[in-house]
Amino acid sequence: MKVLEVKNLTKKFDGFIAVDNISLSINEGEIFGLLGPNGAGKSTTINLIAGLLRSSEGEIKILGKNNMKHSRYTKMNIGIVPQDLAIYEDLTAFENVKFFAGLYGLRGTELTDRVQEALEFVGLLDMQRAYPKNFSGGMKRRLNIACAIAHRPKLIIMDEPTVGIDPHSRNYILQSIHKLNEMGCTIIYTSHYMEEVEEICTRISIMDHGKVIAEGTKEQLIAIITNTKDIWIEVKSVEQIDIEKIKEINGVKTVSLDKNVIKINSEIGINNLNNILLYLMNQKVEIGSLEEREPNLETVFLTLTGRNLRD
């Protein structure tokens, strides 16, 4: 069953195109990743799906129904974990989840049970009477998730839920996504962290400048650049390096600098390592280490756009 169908979706803000004619189709049970740098249009897409923004063009169907014409039905079936925390500091953890679950029409003991179930799910049941103002960033984020799931939505949308939180909470959140998925929820997960998307998502759309530039499983996306390899060279200093000169070396497809690591994507079958090293030696660059790596989604993004995901 299709949980979400997006057809030719476009959103303009005063003439600026934030989402540019994208189409997506997400099946029940998927953990779908929207990967892209800041400003790619991920949050706008999510706000359109959630019915918080009206599209300029295109159609969105959730569980087969148009999200604007059947807004109550679709809202009942979606849980949104927004990028910016949406919790009330002067309500307890319990009252926060109760407030959001109440908006979905839950009442009485069913409401109390669902609130406690959601708090238990995110590991905050012991803290139900505490006020979130005393919570760590990760705990607030987990409370935000509890608020989004208490009404047991079929589709859960998480907008960069691990930004700025400690590793313990991060792992907790990633594990909870797997658990929600095992319980039958379909998940849309946006991030500009390639590692997370690679780790948890069954299928991924790469967005840039409002467009979907590639879509598939991690393996399918990497197959786009299967005839290449990555060479990472750690150097002591980068001042003497001219990236454009390395790009001119036969077989080199992309070159980027990540602090003091030169990341080169190069065609397989062309032995150009000597030339690359020769260039660096001529520039009197001291080499710390050299590593050949399997390409990952970062390389896919760089190959497709010429830029790093986290520029």
Ligand X SMILES: Nc1ncnc2c1ncn2[C@@H]1O[C@H](COP(=O)(O)OP(=O)(O)OP(=O)(O)O)[C@@H](O)[C@H]1O
- Which is nearer to ligand X, 82 or 251 (by Cβ)? 82
Choose, by CB under 6 A, the member of 4, 22, 26, 43 that binds ligand X. Answer: 43
Q: Give strand pairing partners of 258.
A: 261
Q: State the Cα–Cα distance between residues 173 and 138, nearest whole angstrom.
A: 9
Choose, by CB under 6 A, the member of 18, 187, 204, 255 that binds ligand X. Answer: 18
Choose, by CB under 6 A, the member of 2, 8, 13, 184 that binds ligand X. Answer: 13
Q: State the Cα–Cα distance between residues 306 and 310, nearest whole angstrom.
A: 12
Q: Is 44 in the site for ligand X (CB under 6 A)?
A: yes
Candidates 32-40, 85-93, 281-289, 300-308: pick the segment binding ligand X (CB under 6 A): 32-40
Question: Tokens 């949104």 label which residue?
Answer: 80
Choose, by CB under 6 A, the member of 1, 15, 16, 90 that binds ligand X. Answer: 16
Q: State the Cα–Cα distance between residues 275 and 255, nearest whole angstrom.
A: 14
- Which is nearer to ligand X, 188 or 264 (by Cβ)? 188
65-66 sheet: strands from edge to edge? 16-27, 2-13, 57-62, 65-66
Of residues 209, 175, 203, the one with CA closest to residue 188: 203
Instruction: Please work out the total of residues on this chain that contact ligand X, with binding judged by CB under 6 A.
Output: 13
Choose, by CB under 6 A, the member of 2, 8, 27, 38 that binds ligand X. Answer: 38
Query: Within 116-155, which residues bind ligand X (CB under 6 A)?
Result: none
Of residues 120, 122, 127, 125, the one with CA closest to residue 172: 122
Candidates 33-41, 235-243, 267-275, 299-307: pick the segment binding ligand X (CB under 6 A): 33-41
- Which is nearer to ligand X, 13 or 72 (by Cβ)? 13
Query: Within 56-85, which residues bind ligand X (CB under 6 A)?
Result: 83
Interior CA angle at 202 toward 38 and 264, to 5°?
55
Q: State the Cα–Cα distance between residues 255 and 257, nearest whole angstrom.
A: 7
- Which is nearer to ligand X, 161 or 295 (by Cβ)? 161
Candidates 20-28, 39-47, 114-122, 131-139: pick the segment binding ligand X (CB under 6 A): 39-47
Say if residues 112 and 190 touch (Cβ distance below 8 Å): no
Beta strands in the chain (DSSP E): 2-13, 16-27, 31-35, 57-62, 65-66, 78-81, 155-159, 186-191, 203-208, 211-216, 228-235, 252-258, 261-267, 287-293
Query: Within 212-271, which residues bind ligand X (CB under 6 A)?
Result: none
Q: Is 162 in the site for ligand X (CB under 6 A)?
A: no
Q: Is 42 in the site for ligand X (CB under 6 A)?
A: yes
Q: Is 41 in the site for ligand X (CB under 6 A)?
A: yes
Q: Is 89 in the site for ligand X (CB under 6 A)?
A: no
In the complex, least distance from residue 43 CB atom to ligand X, rounded to whole angstroms: 3
Applying CB under 6 A, the residues found at the interface with ligand X are 13, 16, 18, 36, 38-44, 83, 192
